[in-house]
A and B are shown apart, each in its own frame.
Chain A
Amino acid sequence: MEFISFFSDIAMPLIILLIVIYGLIERNKVFDIFLDGAKEGIGVVVGIFPTLIGLFVAIGALRSSGILDFIVQIMTPILDIVKFPSEIMPLALIRPISGSSSIAVAVDIMKNFGVDSTFGLMASVIMGSTETTLYTIAVYTSAVGVKKTRFVLVASLLADFVGIVVSVVVCRIMSMNFS
């Protein structure tokens, strides 16, 4: 377990260090370039803000009206057979379809169960390890105007499925070791 937290701790500082040093070696004005990029970052966040407002309200309504818990309860007996936590199911369902909705659902799970709880960790790892598959496929195929995508959707969704299952298993092992 120690080496897991070691890698997790060192990854971000190490990459920042390497990129800055590399930029210096190639004689770039690294701070000016940094500022340009950081400015763009503001636009990224401002761009997703309206979407997040709309989706947070919708997901919040699903949670507070009790229908989310109701659906989870219905699914529990089925998911228990395969030992999949039903609390995570809403995220698993929406993750391939919509990026911003899955952020809203993931935040909802993390708030509801605690960001460092087992479910919170699962939601985090699922968000980090999967993509908005349907959106990606749409962008790439429409760029060349191809309609016949063969097996691409099936293969991608199978990959997502495995990614989600592995996330759940890894987080179970992690929180067993933490507690």
Chain B
Amino acid sequence: MLNIVWPIFIIISFIFAIFTGKLSELNASIFTSTEEAVKLCISLLGTICLWNGIMQIANKTTIINKLTKFLNPIMRFLFPDIKQDSDVHKEISMNIIANILGLGNAATPLGIKAMKSLQKQNKDKKVLSNSMATLIVLNTASIQIIPTTVIAIRNSLGSSNPTGIIFPVWIATICAAVIGIFFTKLFIKLGK
């Protein structure tokens, strides 16, 4: 994707700068941009390392496992085809919990494991089953308690309140997830 988008950005910027006489601004921006990227990465380093360390502790404990119990009522609604106490049930719940905690490194392998287990039960191997579709939509919704990357970026740009966006993020992400699930259920009902 970026192999197409990136050159387009550069080419149209260059052509546009020639026509608008902004070549010197363009030239200056090349150097400020690289500097900004370096600055951003250096300040990202602090927050991301801290958070990765904390989440490593969470990974080593049974906390993900314990928290999956709270999901059971929702799981029944989201995945009516999946039996409780089955392995797939556990994999999906753990994927969701890992996502909520922001454990991206743990969430994706768990999600892929769940997808493979679901594929085994899938009748038509070429088409996503209802449960598989629901799992993917849930994963694209990114329900997360702490949006670490954004907080790190805000911190690096000198925000007076880097974490001030946490609650608004919750509102937006929950609305998005509810809509995603609503349409998933609707499309399934319509037999799409």
Residues of A within 8 A of B (CB): 4-5, 7-9, 11-12, 15-16, 19-20, 22-23, 26, 28, 30, 33-42, 44-45, 48-49, 51-67, 70, 97-98, 100-101, 103, 106-107, 110-111, 115-116, 120-121, 124-131, 133-134, 136-137, 139-141, 143-152, 154-156, 158-160, 162-164, 166-167, 170-171, 174
9 CB-based A-B contacts, threshold 8 Å: A12-B163, A23-B58, A45-B49, A66-B25, A125-B168, A125-B169, A127-B149, A147-B126, A149-B136
Closest to B147 in A: A128
Distance from B25 Cβ to chain A, minimum over Cβ atoms (Å): 4
Question: Are B2 and A98 within 8 A (Cβ)?
Answer: yes
> In this assembly, does B80 line the interface, its C-beta being within 8 Å of a C-beta of chain A?
no
Question: Are A166 and B175 within 8 A (Cβ)?
Answer: yes
Secondary structure type dominating chain A contacts: helix
List, in ascending order, chain A residues with CB within 8 A of B61's CB.
19, 22-23, 26, 28
Question: Are B176 and A163 within 8 A (Cβ)?
Answer: yes
Secondary structure type dominating chain B contacts: helix
Given the contacts A66-B17, A144-B119, A146-B126, A56 and B163 also touching, CB distance less than 8 Å: no
List, in ascending order, chain A residues with CB within 8 A of B146's CB.
11-12, 15
Question: Are B48 and A37 within 8 A (Cβ)?
Answer: no
> In this assembly, does B54 line the interface, its C-beta being within 8 Å of a C-beta of chain A?
yes
**Residues 18-64 (chain B) with a chain A CB within 8 angstroms:** 20, 22, 25-26, 28-30, 32-34, 36-38, 40-41, 44-45, 48-63
Given the contacts A12-B163, A28-B60, A67-B16, A59 and B171 also touching, CB distance less than 8 Å: no
List, in ascending order, chain B residues with CB within 8 A of A130's CB.
142, 172-173, 176
Q: Could you say which of B6, B10, B52, B57 contacts A41, with CB atoms under 8 Å apart?
A: B52
List, in ascending order, chain B residues with CB within 8 A of A8's CB.
161, 163-167
> In this assembly, does B86 line the interface, its C-beta being within 8 Å of a C-beta of chain A?
no
Question: Are A148 and B127 within 8 A (Cβ)?
Answer: yes
Question: Are B140 and A133 within 8 A (Cβ)?
Answer: yes
Distance from B167 Cβ to chain A, minimum over Cβ atoms (Å): 4
List, in ascending order, chain B residues with CB within 8 A of A12's CB.
146, 151, 163, 166
A26-B61, A163-B141 are known; give 19 further A-B pairs, CB within 8 A.
A4-B167, A5-B161, A5-B164, A15-B54, A19-B57, A28-B61, A37-B53, A38-B53, A45-B44, A60-B32, A61-B17, A61-B26, A66-B16, A66-B25, A129-B142, A148-B126, A150-B192, A166-B176, A170-B168
Distance from A76 Cβ to chain B, minimum over Cβ atoms (Å): 18
List, in ascending order, chain A residues with CB within 8 A of B63's CB.
19, 22
Given the contacts A37-B53, A124-B150, A107 and B40 also touching, CB distance less than 8 Å: yes
Question: Are A41 and B14 within 8 A (Cβ)?
Answer: no
Q: Could you say which of B33, B142, B171 contacts A131, with CB atoms under 8 Å apart?
A: B142
